[in-house]
Structure 1
């Protein structure tokens, strides 16, 4: 194990190139600095070529200096992670379903642009993976569509999100037969979402499995592309529809009753949120308060 004090003496000597100035900066004797370098050379081989007025690093010395820099960087990262009160530096980690994730990501980027010391790490995932990732402390914040009951988690309602029946802009949908004519654009949660919404909006219908399937994609940002091109209809959560850039090419069919899901915010209950996470929650409150979302 290399002593941090030896490494500090070596790194300072490499910077200043002189034993006397190194000793003065570190408030040590020159003999102490020489002893630290000797201990390192006993362990690692020749690190310096000593000239009358300066020192020169050998290849091994350059390798050790790189190691010292890596340690300093790792120490800075550790200090940032441990400094929970610092709201303007460090990593923001959030894991959520794709629909709400599409709405959150631009807000998080706005936050990072305002505070360049922050780093955004966001992942889209189903509820089971979100819970596991937060419990394993791989992500500080998570959003899920089903409320977990694990006592290790702090859970609170975040926002409500309706399911929406989305059709091409020019399509007229008044009956089940109109949906049959259009055909269904499926996605990983498509059948379940469509089943929940369509069974209420079109009671007595044969069900979503009776509809012709006109396409499938597992990329949430692409689900509405075939709908926009007139190739079918789909059922998706509102935030996914709001994130679609070409709003004029699609239309939401408003029917009662609605199906509305509650999204739940969760984090570990045993320790407080970092200052960064608290700043994020303040930033994304707009999703709860702005009716445009």
Structure 2
């Protein structure tokens, strides 16, 4: 096991770039600092190169620095948990798909303004990454468009979200030929979403892959930018459309059959949600408009 004092010495040397200044900060002799680094290098191999301009970390040195930072983060999380479960204090971490993430992030900021003691960490990720992050305790909460079967995950319905056919504001879509004329603005989930929705709107259509592809982006917040410019149409979830900054430049095609996806809230089943997470879930549910399922 690596001695905590050795690690503190290593961290100080890296931060200050100098054995003498590290010794002064830690109230040690320079010989003691050198001895601590020697102990570490005996265990791990060379950690740093002494260059004329300062110290340069080796790959092992970078790995040890990452380890030390992870230890700091783990210690902070432990202190947070031992200090009591306060709904207004501490770290809250969650991971979501892009569309719902666009909808909830402003609401999370509003929650943090009301409770400045919260530190909210929100990441975007695909379904597989959401499952992994919650199972690995890298996120307390996750939202996913698929319901997991893993018994280690507690799952509940969070909200529902419709897929929407979005066209430039001046366009009218009456049939498949109109879509072929406009062309498709694609995104990572574009073909799946468009196939599911358009197969209901236009039964027997020749398929999304037969449509002209006018563009592609993997940034959820930018999918509708080319649509707003009149360059094509797209199919995407409602929350992504509602977050678009120029709603006057786009139009949702109404009076078409609905495809509504469920969004599932996930957390580890072995222990209850923290008070912070419980507060956040209630806060978000109160501010999101559910899309009711339709036949």
Maintained 8 Å contact 1:158/1:265: yes
Report SS of the residue matched to 2:252. Answer: strand
Equivalence for 2:202 = 202
- TM-score of the superposed pair, with normalisation by structure 2: 0.74
Change (3 A) 1:212 1:78: same
1:219 and 1:94 mapped to 2: Cα distance? 19
Say which of 58, 63, 66 aligns to 2:26.
Answer: 63
Maintained 8 Å contact 1:185/1:215: yes
Maintained 8 Å contact 1:96/1:124: yes
2:134 and 2:78 mapped to 1: Cα distance? 19
1:207 and 1:2 mapped to 2: Cα distance? 62
Report SS of the residue matched to 2:87. Answer: coil
2:169 and 2:73 mapped to 1: Cα distance? 53
Deviation at 1:257, TM superposition (A): 1.6
Does residue 249 of structure 2 align to residue 286 of structure 1?
no
Equivalence for 2:123 = 123
Maintained 8 Å contact 1:186/1:215: yes
- TM-score of the superposed pair, with normalisation by structure 1: 0.74
Structure 2: stretches of 5+ with no match in the other structure:
6-20, 29-68
Equivalence for 2:44 = none
2:24 and 2:74 mapped to 1: Cα distance? 20
Maintained 8 Å contact 1:185/1:234: yes
Structure 1: stretches of 5+ with no match in the other structure:
4-57
Alignment of 1:1-293 (within 5 A): 60-64=23-27, 77-83=77-83, 85-289=85-289
1:157 and 1:288 mapped to 2: Cα distance? 13
Change (3 A) 1:150 1:76: closer
1:73 and 1:237 mapped to 2: Cα distance? 35
What CA deviation, in whole Å up to 9, does each residue of 1:161-211 have, x standing for no partner? 000000000001111000001000000000110000001101111110110
**Who wins on radius of gyration, i.e. which is larger?**
1
1:211 and 1:90 mapped to 2: Cα distance? 50
Equivalence for 1:40 = none
Report SS of the residue matched to 1:284. Answer: helix
Structure 1 vs Structure 2 CA RMSD = 2.6
Deviation at 1:60, TM superposition (A): 2.6
What CA deviation, in whole Å up to 9, does each residue of 1:260-287 have, x standing for no partner? 0000001000001111101111110124
1:64 and 1:115 mapped to 2: Cα distance? 39
Change (3 A) 1:257 1:72: closer
2:168 and 2:251 mapped to 1: Cα distance? 6
